[in-house]
Amino acid sequence: MALVASFSFRCSECWASYREDAVQYTCPSCARMQEPGREVRGILSVELDELPRSWPDGDLTSPSFLEAFLPIASRTSLPPLPVGGTPLLEAPRLRADLGMPRLWLKDDTRNPSGSTKDRASQLVVAKAREYGRSTIATASTGNAATSLAAACASAGLQAVVFVPATAPHAKLVQMLAYGARVVRVDGSYDQAFELCCAACDRCGWYNRSTALNPFTVEGKKTAALEIVRQLSGEPPDVAVVPAGDGVIISGVAKGFADLVEAGLLARVPRLVVVQPSGSNALVAALATGAETVKPVPGAASVADSLTVEVPRAARLALRRIEESGGAGVAVDDESIVAAVARLAATTGVFAEPAAAAALAGLEAALGRSLIDRDERVVLLITGTGLKDVPAAARSVTIPEPVEPCLDAIAREL
């Protein structure tokens, strides 16, 4: 493994520090407590030796911006497919509907493969190139697999992805089109995760799997950097983030924390995590103040990207949410499906159920007085609705065909 002396790893549990060439995935000491099928122990946080004290020149996708905030040896490490720089939308109609004049949408459906997961895959592929690795594997419910496949395709690396056999058809087509080797596991995402880890150990592949690879959290922090930059350096009061494994919300929290440490942000926003009621391990733990989660056997939801029995980044995500003064809300599938149509009809953003859950969660948080309507609130919209059209179709009614004549049109409309 190559050594890049611009950062070190710090364990998120015992706080031990490691050089880049000393560890690969997790803290060796805390990893001894790892139990099969449970949350990842000893998740490593990337600690840059020097954070920028002013905003770098260039736009949000420029190599200079990314090089300043990410642990890469050179901008040439980055795959050629641009990631990030997604718009922060004011959404005036949704603002009016909700009575929230300072509401924004961070529209990550605009990323190359259509999801926030591209942010993690971009950095993981960059590090794989630095380490001389030619094959990268991941376990995924779908979006991480498609994002890894896209990044690997652009960089000339091989992606091997392990997904549940129930992964949405559109996501399967997408990852196959990118050239990934796809393993459909006749089981849950949690089983796919364990199988991927075992396969990487046997075959020597670089493992991108969420939480296990420290660069997944680090890559996702760029969403927070962009939000603050797009708000002219001011923090939102609240960031609402859907969660499955908890890595996206951990990454967003890391981005805000890095900006505070750099002196570019006065405070960290409150983080509100949203989960489906059928896969709500993080929300349940927050309600009791627990440090970790209880598994949700048979976890199920229309929001496939959020459906996990055990969030792999549970300990880190819970701590980050609590440190921010945030909270968690669970929403049922009916509310998630309704949010798909409401979000699209009021903003023009077509989101998959897992992403529309942010809007459903916002409404639930308003009902519980967790968020005030006059606060500055950002919803992270994590994936496009084109990834799971059958699920999104549950939010609309397809009209019957009409005769091709004006009288028929008049009767119909």
Q: Which domains are delineated in the chain?
A: 88-112+217-393 (3.40.50.1100)
Instruction: Check if the beta carbon of residue 45 is closer than 8 Å to that of residue 203.
Output: no
Instruction: Check if the beta carbon of residue 349 is closer than 8 Å to that of residue 339.
Output: no
H helix intervals, 132-221: 143-155, 169-177, 189-203, 214-220
**Which tens digits make up the pLDDT trace of 188-205?**
999 999 999 999 999 999
Report the distance separating Cα 55 and Cα 204, nearest Å.
39
Residue 413: what pLDDT? 80
Mean pLDDT over 84-100 rounds to 97
**Which tens digits make up the pLDDT trace of 119-137?**
999 999 999 999 999 999 9
pLDDT at 290 over 70: yes
Mean per-residue pLDDT over the chain, rounded: 94
Mean pLDDT over 281-291 rounds to 96
Instruction: Check if the beta carbon of residue 327 is closer than 8 Å to that of residue 321.
Output: yes
Residue 90: what pLDDT? 96
- Nearest in space to 256 (alpha carbons), one of 335, 320, 192: 320
Under 8 Å CB-to-CB from 48, ≥6 apart: which residues?
6, 7, 69, 71, 258
Q: Tell me which of 392 and 98 has the higher pLDDT.
A: 98
Helix, strand, coil percentages in the chain from 3-state DSSP, rounded to 5? 40, 15, 40
**Which tens digits make up the pLDDT trace of 340-379?**
999 999 999 999 999 999 999 999 999 999 999 999 999 9
83: Cα separation from own chain's centroid: 13
Token digits of residue 231: 């708000």
Mean pLDDT over 149-172 rounds to 95
Token digits of residue 216: 């997944």
Under 8 Å CB-to-CB from 108, ≥6 apart: which residues?
86, 115, 116, 119, 223, 355, 380, 381, 382, 383
Cα four-point dihedral sign 128, 134, 140, 145: positive
Give the pTM: 0.94
Least confident piece of the model among 1-5, 146-150, 391-395: 1-5
pLDDT tier for residue 62 given thresholds of 50, 70 and 90: confident
pLDDT tier for residue 4 given thresholds of 50, 70 and 90: very low
